[in-house]
Amino acid sequence: MCPGHRPDSSYINIDFVLDIIDQLQSAGIKAIVLSGGGEPILHPNIIDIIKYINSKGINIGLVTSGQRNFSYNKMEYIIRSLTWLRISLDAGTPEIYKLTHGIDQDKYKTVLNFIQDALSARKKTDSQCTIGVGYLTGWNHEKEIEDYEQAALICAKMGVDYFQLRPLNFSNKVYEFSDYIKKSVASINNKMRLVKSRHKYDFFDTTRIDYRRPYKYCHISYFTTIICVNGGVYVCCDLRNQPTACIGNLHQKSFIDIWKNVNEVTAKVNIDNCLPHCKNDNANRIIDRILQNKDNNHKNFI
């Protein structure tokens, strides 16, 4: 149900999940994002997982395609527990949804219902959860701009907090929100923000910036990591399942012991082979500018 159409349907064992959460709490982890190259809400124990993370005082973010119906009570609990929720919609009509997700177009209504249920639950519980919707561009169908504008209007009417454009793949197209759609959205819901992954689109538009990496080391890997269904702990999501980017495996060592290897593994990652518009690129550029500043005599006090 993700645009990648990955065939793997395996999921992580609940007892293993709870043990990992305990380890992350002991390590002082502040937040966990439930996401992946799969669909987190299809896990049979997703409510129990959210409850357990919540009981540990760890903030939770959730990225989902919204392809599951929950009872009102369960949805209310989910929304009360989350710091933020992002739903991948990627379509303004059922027909385009079938094209972008490769599944029955009737599922489009399921996603819209999920979004509406989440918004209703937030209102009823007075939750502060931020709820946004994502739209991947780059499908190269003739109705793409018309479609994402239609999707933005749908989201504005429902009352989501933001509508985000992100590029699916390499393209020389740079997508913008027209003045018409900005005004139309504002007239419906002046609180909904129209946002886009600007640094990724800037990579495609080579007239704007030099897209080559000025840094040779992934600084952000010290602040975030990814745990896969097989227990592997990796430098980042783009390098998951690549042996050279594996810090360790939780079936073999504890998270705290694994994290002792982060310096060694990160140093071996060849930045030149990474995706040029990865999600961590912007943060890496900022950190590198600070570290390379010759006037900064106190780097340990950044």
Q: Token digits for 29?
A: 């982890």
Q: What is the DSSP letter of 66?
A: -
Query: How open is the CA angle 120-124-130, to the nearest 5 degrees?
Result: 60
How deeply is 71 buried, as exposed, middle or buried, from its count of CB atoms within 10 A (0-12, 13-18, 19+)?
exposed
Residue carrying structure tokens 């020389």: 172
Query: What is residue 101's three-state secondary structure?
Result: helix
pLDDT tens-digit series, residues 156-215? 999 999 999 888 765 556 677 888 888 999 999 999 999 887 666 666 655 555 567 888
Residue 227 bridge partners (DSSP): 233
Q: What tens digit of pLDDT does each residue of 85-99 get?
A: 999 999 999 999 998
Distance CA 231, CA 115 (A): 31
82 pLDDT higher than 70: yes
CA distances for 264 relative to 85, 236, 242, 256, 299, angstroms? 34, 15, 15, 15, 21
Quickly state the pLDDT bin for 5 (edges 50, 70, 90). Answer: very low
| 135 phi-psi bin (left φ>0, alpha ψ -120 to 50, beta other) | beta
Q: What is the mean pLDDT of the chain?
A: 87
DSSP class of residue 33?
E
* H-run or E-run covering 249: strand 246-249
Cα(259)–Cα(225) distance, integer angstroms: 10
Asked if residues 70 and 98 have their Cβ atoms less than 8 Å apart, the reply is no
Residue 128's alpha-carbon distances to 119, 131, 143, 190, in angstroms, are 11, 9, 35, 18
pTM of the model: 0.87
Which residue type occupies 140? N
The sheet with strand 232-234 has its strands ordered as 226-227, 232-234, 246-249
d(CA 174, CA 203): 9
> What's the rounded Cα separation, in Å, for the pair 64 and 244?
28
Res. 230: pLDDT tops 50: yes
